[in-house]
Structure 1
Amino acid sequence: MSHALIAPMLAHVGLAGFLYVLLTLARAPSIWGIGRRADGSNPWAEVEPRISANLSNQFEWPLLFYVACLLLIQAGVQSPLATWLAWGFIGGRLAHSLVQIGTGNVRLRGLVFSLNFLAALGLWALVLQLYLHG
C-alpha cells in the first residue's frame, strides 16, 4: 500500500543525497587535488562551508517533519492537507538550500525557513488533532 507522504519524504532524502554529492565535489580540490586552480587553491572554498552548514541543517528541523509524517502514516491518515503541508515543507527546504548556499543572505534564509517551520507545525497540528480526537 502506498501513502502520499512517502514521496515528499523521499524527495528530502534525495535533496540530502544531492547535498552530499555537492559537498564532495566542493571539497575535491582541497582533499584530492581534483579541480584545483593553477595557484593550488580551491575554487569552491567560499561556498563549501555554506554547503556543509546546509547539509547539517537537513538533520535538524526535518527530523520533526519525518516523525510527524511517520505518525500520520502509521495512523493511516490520508489527508490532502497533510500531503500539501509535506510538499510545502520540501519546497521550503529546497528554497532554504538555494538561499543558504547561493547567497548566504541570512535575513532571506530566515524568511524562507519560516515556510519549513510552519509546514512542519501544520503536520504536528494534524498529529495532535488525531491523537486528541482519534
Structure 2
Amino acid sequence: MEVPSLIRPVATLVGWTFFMEAWMYKTRLPALKGVRLPPNTTKQSMNAHIPSEVQWKADNYNHLHEAPTRFYAIALSLSILEVASSSGTDLDLENKLAWGYVGVRVAHSLVQAVTNVIPIRFGLYILSEVTALGLFGRLVYALV
C-alpha cells in the first residue's frame, strides 16, 4: 500500500508530541515529589510549586495540542483529496510546507523547553503560522 506523502509529516509531529509528553513527565513528576496538594487543586496552584524550566515543557506539550490541530486537518484533507504529488518525491510544494511546519514546531518546542526565549519562540510561531497558511492556501486551491 502506498502511503500518501503528507501522512509522514503528520505522523512525525504526532511522534514529537509523544516525545514532549514523556519529557514533560520525566521532569514534572520528580519536581512534584513530596509536594502535598489538595486533590481539587487548580493548575495555577500546582504550577506555583514547579520550577519554571520544568513548567516550560508542560506549556509546550499543551501548545502541541493547540496550533497543530489546523495542520493535521489541512494535511489530512490534502491527503484525502490526493492533492499531494504521487510522484514519490518529496519535492512537491505541499510536502515542503508540511515538513517545514514540522521542523519549525520541533524548533519551537526545543526553544520553549530549554531556554524559553520569548522573541525566538514568537518568531518560530509566526513562521509556523505562515507555513500552515501556505498549506491552507493549497487546500483552498484544491477545493476551488
Give the superposition deviation at 1:115. 1.9
1:92 aligns with 2:93: no
Q: Structure 2 matches for 1:55-94, cutoff 5 A? A: 55-79=61-85, 80-94=92-106
Question: 2:18 matched to which residue of 1?
Answer: 17
Q: How many angstroms does 1:84 deviate by?
A: 0.4
For residue 41 of structure 1, what is the aligned residue in structure 2? none
Give the RMSD, CA atoms, in angstroms. Answer: 1.4
Unaligned runs of 5+ in 1: 34-43
Q: Does 1:30 align with 2:31?
A: yes
C-alpha displacement of 1:32: 4.7
Letter in 2 for 1:99: V
Structure 2, unpaired ranges of 5+: 35-49, 86-91
Q: 1:118 aligned to 111, 126, 130, which one?
A: 130
CA distance in 2, matches of 1:121, 1:71: 14
TM-score (norm 2): 0.79
* 1:57-99 Cα distance to aligned partner (Å, 9 max, x none): 0011100000101110111112310000000000100110111
Deviations 1:86-125 (A, max 9, x none): 0000010011011111111111111111221111101100
Is 1:48 aligned to residue 54 of structure 2? Answer: yes
Paired residues of 1:89 and 1:120 also in contact (CA < 8 A): yes
The whole-number CA distance in structure 1 between the counterparts of 2:103 and 2:58 is: 20
The alignment partner of 1:77 has SS state of: coil
The alignment partner of 2:52 has SS state of coil
Contact 2:101–2:131 at 8 Å: present in 1 too? yes
Cα distance in 2, alignment partners of residues 76 and 113 from structure 1? 28
Structure 2 partner of 1:130? 142
Which structure carries more relative contact order (alpha carbon 8 Å, separation 6+)?
A: 2
TM-score of the two chains, using structure 1 as the length reference: 0.85
